[in-house]
Structures are given as C-alpha cells and as structure tokens.
Amino acid sequence: MAASYFPRWRRQPAAAEGGIVGIDERLGWPQMVAMGVQHVVAMFGSTVLAPLLMGFDPNLAIFMSGIGTLLFFVLVGGRVPSYLGSSFAFIGLVIAVTGYGGHGPNPNIAVALGGIIACGLVYAVIGLIVSAVGTRWIETLMPPVVTGAIVCVIGLNLAPIAVRGVSGSNFDSWMALVTVLCVGAVAVFARGMLQRLLILIGLLLAYVIYAIVTNGLGMGGKPIDFSIVANAAWFGMPHFMAPVFDPHAMTLLAPIAVILVAENLGHIKAVSAMTGQNLDRYIGRAFLGDGLATIVSGFAGGTGVTTYAENIGVMAVTKIYSTLVFVIAALIALLLGFSPKFGAVIQTIPGPVLGGVSIVVFGLIAVTGARIWVVNKVDFSDNRNLIVAAVTLVLGAGDFSLKLGGFGLGGIGTATFGAIILYALFRRKPVQGPVA
C-alpha cells in the first residue's frame, strides 16, 4: 500500500530513449506537455462528435471532459491512467427523450440533463457498492458474452440514426460516402499516430473536399458559413445550462449506468494488462469517479462521460502510463472550453460529413463488441452464449421497447438488461450442441 494518497511521480530519464513510463513516473515537463496534447487530440474526435450528434454544445462537452477527468484523477488517487470523454451510450436514448431532429442545437437538452444526472447517481451508487463488497458480482453478471453484446448493440441501435441523417438529398448521401472513404483510407494507408487519429484526420479531409465542392465550385449542398467563426470571440465563458428532472427521461437514461460499468471495467482490465499492475482495488473508486463526473457534467449542461478507449490506444503505442499526463490533457481541454472561436469552428462541420463519420463510428462500436467476444474466446457452440448474444442483438438493433407502469426501457436498455437476465437464467444450464 502506498504511503501517500497520490503517487510521487519520480522522473524517468530512460523514457526519452523509448523506455516504459509507469503510472507513478513521469518524463521531463516539455515531453509531458507534448503527451498531454496528444491525448487531447486522441479523444477530440469522439468527445466532439458525441455532443454534436445529440445537439449539445461541443465546446461545453470538451470543457466538462476536462473537469470530469480531474475529478476522476482525484477519486482514484492518481493511480488509474484514464481520460473521461463524451459517452456514445447516451446518444440513442437522448435523441429519443428529446425528439432531436439531428441538426443544430437541441432545444430539449434540459430534459436529457436530468436523465444524465440520474444515470450518474446510479453509477456512483454501484461504485460505492463495489468499494464495499468487491467486483466479483459484476464479473459474474457481465461476462464477456454479455459485455460484448451490450457494446455491439450500442452501434447497431444507432445505425438507423446515422443513415437517416444523410438521406436528406442525393448530394448528402454521396458526401457521406466520400467521408466514409476518407476515414477508411486513413485507417488503412496511414501509419503511426495519423492512423490512430483516423476519425479526426478523415473528418478534416472530408471537410476540405466539401468546402471545395460547395464554397469553391458552387456545386452540391449548402456552402460552409465561416462568418460564425470570424464573429466568435477568442475567449469567453462556456454556456452552462440547468437540468429539468423529468421522471420519464430519468427512468430511460438511468439504466445506461450498466453500460458505463461494463466500459469502465474493461478499461481498467486493459490498463492492468498493459502496465502489469493489478488495479482491481481501484475499480469501485473509478466507478464512483466516473459517476460523479457524469453528475457534475449533467448539472452544467454537458454530456454523460466515460473512460476512453482512444486514450488506451495512445498508451499502448507510447508505453507512457503516467497519470500526470492526463492532468495536463484535462487542463488543455479546460482552456479549449474557454474559446468560443474553437466552438464556432466545430459548428461549421457540414451535416453530411458528420453523418458519414457517424456511420464509421457507430460501425466501429458494433465491431468493438464483437472483438470482445474474439479476444475472450467466447464459445458460441455453447447454446447459452448463442442465445444471449442472438436475442440481445435483435432487441437492440430493432429498438425493442418495454414499459412497466411509469418505467420505460428503450432498445439499448432492454437489450442490456435482457443480456444480463438471460445469462443469469441460463447460467447453470448444461452445455448442449449448437442450435441448428
């Protein structure tokens, strides 16, 4: 057990030559700042994309991601390297409870904020329980076949939203496909950090193509309006918003906590494997930190947050696991949140480009769920696993909804609880042959 709450972060000079930097180590400060910038860039695409898809202020979402990361850092005592950004698990249900049309600011954000806070409260309570009794019960309820199905369902449930968003005109549809090709080309042909930033670089390429076609050649859809960037101030306060606590929205969004638990648990297990340190004793505090960060974000007008796989990827590439890097990244995010001009640039992203990126991102989420099955060698010759996965995927992709009195569950919620319940019911069933 460490003598102090936070690590000492001793200097690691050998790291400059490519050595591993541990959780309780650091580089020289110029290198630390550079790594912090890299983590901001890594989370940027998804943390900005998620609020745009829900009609939130992306500038505020970036700001609250910094606040949430610092809060998480304090709760885990600086022992778990992690960045908290906007969670995609909220998108489908936020759109459902607000009736968002898919473009511009969402006029009913306040209703969603109450639901996000309710989700954060449930998440924080789970964190307190885990701190008291351990994680075994969670791992029993949500083995890889369940967590993989839940993650896969998030992408499949969002697929119709992405397709509808780019079906307004023939030009929009073609531009979305061009965006998909840009992202795909970066993913396949780029190397190093450019490849890791496939969403951001692909979006920028598609943005330039859209500007050339519309603003330059006068063809296709609506030209990009750069006047909003010119008129925006360089510095200003984020636009905070108060929540509205609607019981229907709260009951719909609260179950998302189960999905966030699965994401965070997988994050900590992955970091433990990379660093060679057992971080299980921090899981309860990590859940609590993520839950409190979501609550604070909801009260300010931001999105629900979660630990980010993109930043795990950066750690895997660089082998730099120092938690101080994430403090620097969070501080940079806070500075960006104080720049309305930065927010105005984000608002100029054309709808078809955003829709094309959404197609890729939602597909990647679905495939990530399948990857969990592959990595954990889930045996689909076991009828229990087969039925759990099959039913969960259809419930989520088909947006199967259930209502019990005043309590309602959308497709993602139904699929999440369905996977957990089915696995629990069939857990002791003897293994049979595969379903024909």
Decide if 434 is inside a domain: no
Task: Tell whether 5 is covered by a domain.
Answer: no
pLDDT at 295: 96
Give which of 416, 124, 54, 116 is closest to 251, Cα–Cα.
Answer: 116
CB of 101 within 8 A of CB of 424? no
CA neighbor of 244 nearest in space, from 120, 114, 57: 114
**Is residue 252 domain-resident?**
yes
User: In this structure, is residue 4 part of a structural domain?
Assistant: no
The answer to whether residue 295 sits within a structural domain is: yes
pLDDT in tens, 354-372: 778 778 777 877 887 787 7
Residue 285 inside a domain? The answer is yes
Q: Which amino acid is at 298?
A: G
pLDDT for res 400: 81
If one counts the domains in the chain, the total is 1
Which residue is it, tokens 């480009």? Answer: 353
**What is the Cα Rg of the chain in Å?**
21
Find tokens 């505090």 and name the residue: 285
Model pLDDT, residue 17: 46
78-136 residue pLDDT tens: 899 989 988 888 887 888 888 887 667 888 899 999 999 999 999 999 999 999 988 78
Sign of the dihedral through C-alpha 344, 350, 355, 361 = negative
Above 80 in pLDDT, residue 319?
no
- Give Dmax over CA atoms of the chain in angstroms: 67
**pTM of the shown model:** 0.75
Q: Please provide the average confidence, as pLDDT, over all residues in the chain.
A: 82
Burial of 278 (0-12, 13-18, 19+ CB in 10 A): exposed
Encode pLDDT of 126-180 as tens digits. Answer: 999 999 988 788 778 888 888 888 878 877 877 777 787 777 778 888 888 888 8
Residue 398 lies in a domain: yes
Q: What is the pLDDT of residues 13-51, one digit of tens each?
A: 644 445 678 788 887 788 788 778 777 876 776 788 788
Residue 64: partners with Cβ closer than 8 Å, 6 or more residues away: 296, 297, 300, 302, 303, 305, 337
Domain that holds residue 422: 22-426
Return the H-helix or E-strand segment holding 395. helix 383-397
Burial of 2 (0-12, 13-18, 19+ CB in 10 A): exposed
How many angstroms separate the CA atoms of 116 and 305, rounded?
Answer: 9
Treating both helix axes as pointing N-terminal to C-terminal, what angle do 170-189 and 351-375 enclose, rounded to 10 degrees? 50
> Is 12 inside a domain boundary?
no
Percent of the chain surpassing pLDDT 70: 89
pLDDT score, position 195: 65
272 with 279: CB under 8 angstroms? yes
pLDDT tens digits, 370-407: 877 887 888 888 888 899 999 988 988 887 877 766 55
pLDDT at 3 (0 to 100):
65
Q: Cα 222 to the chain's mean position, in Å?
A: 30
Residue 25 CA to chain centroid, in angstroms?
Answer: 27
Distances (CA, A) of 24 to 279, 322, 366: 13, 6, 34
Cβ pair 412, 92 in contact under 8 A = yes
Full DSSP string of 90-147: GHHHHHHHHT--SSS--TTHHHHHHHHHHHHHHHHHHHHHHHHH-SHHHHHHS-HHHH
